């Protein structure tokens, strides 16, 4: 068996790649593996999901697997990923399971596992879970009788999470009008409540999940809808979440996109002003725009770069005791309040900065002058081969020489999909597009989909 866990858990097309049998096997292996960490009591697991239809099926298989391995389960129902992580810590559970494919389309689903405290699993624990799945039930005696796990439902988990978010800001948002696109996802019943409770006037769109419409032409991967709603309603800004609300992007009052790099810059300066930006340092990934680096250098904020993936940002934040990090895609991590990316939280603090300064989002975001950047997601047969093929590498090196100091090239396989991501920054949009298309063509030739 190859690697089962990607950069954000196990993911695939539900009932095809990610079957109930696989979910059950992952749950059994996770319970057995994590029970070995502390044998003093039966493990307790929190299980949540986003509203996609296949989550019902996979939740049943996951709960069956966990209890069959002797773990007790607290079901929290449909909640954002960061809410599940928060409840793992609040309930002092040994681990948590979130069933979600985040921003992926409805037919996909995924299994994210949190360690105690709501932290992402270390690589070595993921490897041990994979090994346990491969070994199957060899040498394992199933618990019986009173040792079989029990299941309980936590009915007020959402309320606990909402109050936690509200308590993270001290300045009311009165006077701000916001459109929040809930992506017909897990935050549909939470984000509008949080923002209203703190004083904003809220217009919620795509807040009626039916199990089939999650991320469907809405949310953080489809900004046209929130942009149109902001302009139509004269709102001060728009916040676009993804299906499990672990990321957010924003749009200004005039409809311009504010991406994760700009949100990080705004929050970094706010936190530095408040004295809460530890070591005056922001953690980003290699995908962040060169414009963010230049802006933070100008403002006296240090940058630390990691590999792509919010887990690597989180690892650096924890290892160095830092207080803010994230990705251009909108995963924003504020360890004082969350153990993972939290889109509702990031949107809340973005609006708090607008309220405290009295400045429009466009002015706050202007601290970052972004270089033109083109990102092409190239479907491939083998995402590893596509990125590492000698001809592709040669094309990338030639492009880097062509751009010199005026831009950069980044090729990387997706951690969750059969894609190679080709990213090019250049002095002009035309140059970036030209170079990116040439590199994308080289990837397609090396590994046809």
Closest alpha carbon to 97 in 154, 153, 31, 2? 31
Residue 261 annotated in ligand binding: no
Structure tokens at 272: 């530095």
Check if the beta carbon of residue 147 is closer than 8 Å to that of residue 127. no
Residue 94 annotated in ligand binding: no
Residue 244 annotated in ligand binding: yes
Sheet containing 201-205: order of strands: 201-205, 177-181, 237-241, 248-252, 257-258
Structure tokens at 230: 């902001």
Structure tokens at 156: 């007020």
Name the catalytic one among 102, 288, 329, 414.
102
Residue 242 annotated in ligand binding: yes
Instruction: Establish whether 102 is a catalytic residue.
Output: yes
Q: What backbone phi and psi angles, to 5 degrees, belong to 40?
A: -75, -15
Unique residue bearing structure tokens 């993804």: 242
Annotated binding site for Mg(2+): 102, 242, 244, 246
List residues with catalytic annotation.
102
């Amino acid at each position: 068996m190859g690697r089962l866990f990607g950069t954000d858990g196990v993911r695939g097309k539900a009932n095809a790649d990610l079957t109930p049998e696989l979910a059950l096997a992952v749950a059994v292996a996770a319970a057995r593996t994590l029970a070995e960490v502390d044998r003093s009591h039966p493990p307790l697991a929190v299980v949540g999901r986003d509203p996609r239809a296949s989550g019902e099926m996979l939740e049943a298989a996951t709960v069956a697997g966990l209890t069959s391995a002797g773990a007790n389960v607290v079901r929290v129902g449909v909640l954002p990923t960061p809410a599940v992580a928060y409840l793992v810590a609040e309930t002092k559970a040994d681990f948590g399971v979130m069933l979600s494919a985040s921003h992926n389309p409805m037919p996909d689903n995924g299994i994210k596992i949190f360690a105690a405290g709501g932290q992402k699993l270390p690589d070595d624990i993921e490897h041990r879970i994979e090994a346990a799945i491969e070994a199957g039930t060899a040498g394992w005696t199933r618990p019986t009788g009173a040792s079989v796990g029990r299941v309980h439902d936590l009915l007020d988990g959402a309320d606990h999470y909402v109050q936690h978010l509200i308590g993270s800001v001290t300045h009311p948002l009165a006077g701000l009008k916001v459109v929040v696109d809930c992506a017909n996802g897990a935050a549909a019943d939470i984000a509008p409540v949080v923002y209203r409770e703190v004083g904003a006037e809220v217009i919620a769109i795509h807040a009626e999940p039916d199990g089939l419409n999650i991320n469907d032409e809405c949310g953080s991967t489809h900004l046209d809808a929130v942009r149109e709603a902001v302009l139509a309603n004269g709102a001060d800004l728009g916040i676009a979440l993804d299906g499990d609300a672990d990321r957010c992007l924003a749009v200004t009052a005039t409809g311009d996109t504010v991406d994760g790099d700009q949100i990080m810059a705004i929050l970094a300066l706010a936190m530095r002003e408040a004295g809460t930006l530890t070591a005056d340092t922001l953690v980003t990934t290699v995908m962040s725009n060169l414009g963010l680096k230049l802006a933070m250098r100008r403002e006296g904020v240090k940058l630390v770069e990691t590999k792509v993936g919010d887990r690597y940002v989180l690892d650096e934040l924890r290892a160095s005791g830092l207080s803010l990090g994230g990705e251009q895609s909108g995963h924003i991590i504020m360890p004082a309040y969350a153990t993972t990316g939290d889109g509702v939280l990031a949107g809340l603090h973005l609006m708090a900065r607008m309220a405290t300064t009295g400045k429009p989002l466009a002015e706050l975001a202007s601290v970052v002058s972004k270089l033109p950047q083109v990102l092409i997601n190239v479907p491939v047969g083998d995402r590893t081969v596509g990125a590492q093929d000698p001809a592709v590498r040669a094309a990338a090196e030639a492009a880097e020489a062509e751009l010199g100091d005026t831009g950069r090239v980044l090729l990387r396989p997706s951690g969750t999909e059969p894609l190679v991501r080709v990213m090019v920054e250049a002095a002009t949009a035309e140059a970036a597009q030209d170079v990116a298309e040439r590199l994308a063509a080289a990837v397609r030739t090396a590994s046809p989909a």
